[in-house]
Amino acid sequence: MNILMVTNTFTPHVGGVAKSVAAFTKSYRRLGHRVLVIAPEFENMPENETDVIRVPAIQNFNGSDFSVRLPIPGFVFASLDEFRPDIVHSHHPFLLGDTALLIAASFDVPLVFTHHTMHEQYTHYVPLDSPQLKRFVVQLATGYANLSDRVIAPSQSIAEILQGRGVGTSIEVIPTGVDAQRMAQGNGSAIRERMKIPLGVQVIGHTGRLAPEKNLQFLAEAVTEFIDCHPKTHFLVVGEGPSRNEIESVFKKSAMDSNLHFTGSLKGQDLVDSYHAMDIFAFASKSETQGMVLVEAMAAGVPVVALDAPGARDVITHQKNGWLIDSDDPAAFVSALKQASFLSKEEQEKLQQALQQTAEEFSMNHSVERSLALYTTLSSGQPCSKETEDSLWDSAMRVIEEEWKIWENIASSAEAAFTDDTRDV
């Protein structure tokens, strides 16, 4: 099968969407499918990529670590004529997402859309952020989902939210899986030694982009409060981003600078080892659509303390494989950290069994099987004669019709955003 992936983020970007696209692409190729990825240019991107088309883009848009694509060059469509996709899989409703719609219409093949992100929680990267803009983004993503042939939600929580927002397209719940076997094999001592973390101390860890939507000030304040009572505890932060200064400020204010360690962005075995350097994984984001890093931590045998939010609640069962905190009260978060720190041997054994079971449930192999089955079902409904009978006129008319739908979606989303001031986001 020829699978076209269209995404606004891809390697070397280290966010969840980029990791998801890269993981599925690698797995599909290993099974013999051809996968072509269309993605923006990024700084320090790999050289001589195979079956990856990069489009020009503005880097680090408005202080973020995202890139914004520029108009699509003609060579992209020439490459697609040679590739001839059987399915188009879009990973964003904006920017290159529109391109995915037009490509699917041009080749008369199904469009699958994965709703990876709660986009309204990222509008602070856009000038003139406002409640109206958040509503516009929600409506635009909902309209895009309804233009797709099938929607994938990374978790049941997100599927329910999308249905509540008016997505009528059939929704499949398929999380991004993890390589549990690989994540289970790490050397935490190597990372602790590299970061000069003293022997015999407890390590609370966090992995992810250090960005405002990740609620990192709350997390830093909760961790420093815990360290205040348990000074032989250090905080290991894996990732990079604009909120690093925010974390540093909280620790400096608490005179705990020496207990804070930043690794920067890690990948490969270094990333696996970083999880094994942690005793507890702490997570406070409310913007996730799936608990990908939470499952990675669990696969490494690390219990998780997180705020009860979409994504996290689909992975964590409270006091079985982790702790879910149902409020923004730092004291409640600290209390959960204490519970995770002082378990009996019997409790630790039960916890490890639960962590292993969760990791197996969210395996990459299982997710890949479900995604390929969905592709096969959708593509089998397409006419077999499209290559010989499809005329340039038919293709052009489908593209024009899809362009009209895109603009209609934008117009209706704008109208809903600026006329309905009572609707919650």
Identify residue 274 by its one-letter amino acid code: S
Whether residue 71 is preceded by a cis peptide bond, meaning omega within 30 degrees of 0, is: no
CATH number 3.40.50.2000 is the correct assignment for the domain at 2-177+364-419:
yes
Predicted pLDDT of residue 95: 81
DSSP 8-state assignment for residue 185: -
CA distances from 249 to 43, 75, 207, 217 (A): 28, 47, 19, 9
Helix, strand, or coil (residue 307): strand
Predicted pLDDT of residue 117: 77
pTM over the 0.85 mark: no
Contact 208, 285 (CB under 8 A): yes
Q: What is the rounded distance in angstroms from the CA atom of residue 107 to the CA atom of residue 389?
A: 12
Contact 211, 243 (CB under 8 A): yes
Ranges for all domains in the chain classified under CATH 3.40.50.2000: 2-177+364-419, 180-361
User: Which residues contact residue 286 at a Cβ distance below 8 angstroms, ignoring those fewer than 6 apart?
Assistant: 121, 215, 307, 309, 310
Predicted pLDDT of residue 130: 63
Comparing C-alpha atoms, which of 262, 300, 289, 247 is closest to residue 15? 289
User: ∠ at Cα 414 (410, 420), nearest 5°?
Assistant: 145
10 Å Cβ neighbour count for 140? 23
Predicted pLDDT of residue 55: 87
10 Å Cβ neighbour count for 199? 7
Comparing C-alpha atoms, which of 140, 134, 170, 178 is closest to residue 153? 170
Per-residue pLDDT of the chain (425 residues; tens, 9 = 90+): 999 999 988 888 767 788 899 999 999 999 999 999 999 888 788 888 999 999 887 655 444 445 555 556 667 778 898 999 999 999 998 888 888 998 999 899 999 999 987 655 554 455 555 677 778 778 888 999 999 999 999 989 889 999 999 999 999 999 988 999 999 999 999 999 999 999 999 999 999 989 888 999 999 999 999 999 999 999 999 999 999 999 999 999 999 999 999 999 998 999 999 999 999 999 999 878 788 899 999 999 999 999 999 889 999 999 999 999 987 888 999 999 999 999 999 999 999 999 999 999 999 999 999 999 999 999 986 544 344 345 554 555 565 566 556 656 666 666 666 666 545 55
Q: What is the rounded distance in angstroms from the CA atom of residue 4 to the CA atom of residue 112?
A: 10
10 Å Cβ neighbour count for 190? 15
User: For the CA atoms of the chain, what is the radius of gyration?
Assistant: 22
Predicted pLDDT of residue 410: 61
180-361 CATH fold: Rossmann fold (3.40.50)
If you count DSSP H runs as helices and E runs as strands, how many of each does the chain have, helices first?
Answer: 16, 15
Q: What is the rounded distance in angstroms from the CA atom of residue 249 to the CA atom of residue 271?
A: 25
Identify residue 41 by its one-letter amino acid code: E
